Amino acid sequence: MTEPSDLPLFGGDRAGLDLAAVQQRLREEREDVTARLATMSKDLHSVIAASADSNADDEHDPEGQTIAYERSQLSALVRATRDQLADIEEATARLEQGGYGICEVCLQPIPSARLAARPVARTCVEHAATHGG
């Protein structure tokens, strides 16, 4: 396996970027997000099971509206957390392939301050708004 420090640098110098520390941070974030996803998925399944056992009419029962809202909120959170996990996996792949820290649009180094704030960033700040990175 290639060590992060052995990865080629391209698209400019990434001075100040400790690739081993980035790899550790991404690993820790993956563990945290995976644990949160497991908890939220369990909660969502509990809500779905509770509503299946009930014969509540969501439209007319005030409690039914609460269950539907909770189910909807949990579903949205699960989707967002899965997206976050995918971002971490993609950042890890870029790290392993040598493209981490390089803007996917202009191929210039992403400032280390941006990577410190958002380690899964795919673009520099200039291109983040237009390319979602």
Overall size of the chain counted in residues? 133
Question: Which of 85, 74, 27, 16 has the alpha carbon at shortest distance from 47?
Answer: 74
Q: φ and ψ at 111, to 5 degrees?
A: -55, 140
CATH code of the domain in which 39 resides? 1.20.120.910
pLDDT digits (tens, 9 = 90+) for 27-47: 999 999 999 999 999 999 988
Q: φ and ψ at 104, to 5 degrees?
A: -70, -15
pTM, entire model: 0.75
pLDDT at 78: 96
**Stretch 19-26: mean pLDDT:** 92
DSSP element (H, E) containing 87: helix 62-97
Range of the domain at 71: 4-131
pLDDT digits (tens, 9 = 90+) for 59-109: 555 555 677 788 899 999 999 999 999 999 999 999 999 999 999 999 999
Overall number of domains in the chain: 1
* Separation between Cα atoms, residue 69 and residue 75, nearest integer Å: 10
- Amino acid identity at 95: L
- Amino acid identity at 77: L
